[in-house]
Amino acid sequence: MGDVQARMEAALARLLPATHAVPGRLHESMRYAVLEGGKRVRPLLCFAAGELTGAARERLEVAGAAVELIHAYSLVHDDMPCMDDDILRRGKPTVHVEFDQATALLAGDALQSLAFQLLSESRLADSPAAQLEMVKALAVASGSRGMAGGQAIDLASTGKPLTLPELEFMHVHKTGALIRAAVVLGARCGATLDAAGAESLDRYAKCVGLAFQVVDDVLDCDASTATLGKTAGKDAIQGKATYVSVMGIARAKEFAEELRVQAHAALAGFGERAGRLAQLADFIVLRKF
Is there a contact between 135 and 113 (Cβ–Cβ < 8 Å)? no
Instruction: Compute the chain's Rg from CA coordinates.
Output: 18
Whose Cβ is closer to ligand GRG: residue 117's or residue 144's? 144
Backbone angles phi, psi at 267, to 5 degrees: -90, -5
Subset of 14-53 contacting ligand GRG (CB under 6 A): 38-39, 41
Q: How remote is the C-alpha of 66 from its chain's centroid?
A: 11
Subset of 66-85 contacting ligand GRG (CB under 6 A): 71, 74-75, 77-78
Q: Is 160 left (phi over 0), alpha (psi -120 to 50) or beta?
A: beta
Subset of 139-178 contacting ligand GRG (CB under 6 A): 147-148, 151, 174-175
Contacts with ligand GRG: how many residues (CB under 6 A)?
A: 16
* Least distance in angstroms from the C-beta of 135 to ligand GRG: 18
* Least distance in angstroms from the C-beta of 259 to ligand GRG: 15
Is there a contact between 82 and 100 (Cβ–Cβ < 8 Å)? no
103 binds ligand GRG (CB under 6 A): no
* Least distance in angstroms from the C-beta of 260 to ligand GRG: 17
Is there a contact between 53 and 39 (Cβ–Cβ < 8 Å)? no
Whose Cβ is closer to ligand GRG: residue 127's or residue 279's? 279
Subset of 213-272 contacting ligand GRG (CB under 6 A): 213, 216
Q: Rule CB under 6 A: which residues touch ligand GRG?
A: 38-39, 41, 71, 74-75, 77-78, 90, 147-148, 151, 174-175, 213, 216
